Amino acid sequence: MTTTTSRRTILAGATALSALAATIPAVSAETDPAFAAIEAHKAAYAAFITTAREGMALEAELPREKRRSNLWVDEITVVESDDPRWIAHLGSCNAASHAMDQAAVDLLDAAADTTLAGAVALIQHAAEMARLEPGGLWPSVQDDDVKGDEWHEHFHIALAASLAKAV
């Protein structure tokens, strides 16, 4: 049996979670780290998007021969004759990407030890990120205890374990 999940189904689930969240007693960031982790991830995502937009503007401004340096995964290859602003941008892009990846890993840590309200907020945040970035901007995650390296696999495992404690 093959099951496909539509975007509409995901958003309907997020709406149902919002209704459920309204019935859960208020929890603050002081008592549940999920809320602080979500805010940190939102800020890291916003910084990454700002850096990417600055890069697009710089790409439009600089001729190709002044932006031959590149960033691939974690390695910046610098062409000395490039515009220094382009080289600096690649460093900024790399740093913003690392910060966003770390914030995503911190979401996993928060998911592993959260309240029901925190779990709802984490799921809502992941759904919102799926809406903003349909292809996803989640990092690969290495863990000897988990077979896959997709962020979502780790997220679901952490949330399931956390929710099992709450039941």
Give the range of the structural domain holding residue 55, as residue numbers without chain letter.
Answer: 31-166
Domains of the chain: total: 1
Query: In this predicted model, what pLDDT tens digit does every residue of 8-36 receive, in sequence order?
Result: 666 566 565 566 555 545 555 568 999 99
Q: What is the pTM of this model?
A: 0.78
pLDDT digits (tens, 9 = 90+) for 111-130: 998 999 999 999 999 999 99
Residue 158 buriedness (CB in 10 A; 0-12 / 13-18 / 19+): buried
- Note whether residue 10 is domain-resident: no
- Give the confidence band of 140 by pLDDT, cuts at 50, 70, 90: confident
Give the torsion through C-alpha atoms of 85, 42, 108, 4, to 10 deg.
-100
**Considering the domain boundaries, does residue 3 fall inside one?**
no
- Whether 50 maps to a domain, the answer reads yes
Which of the 8 DSSP states describes residue 140?
A: B
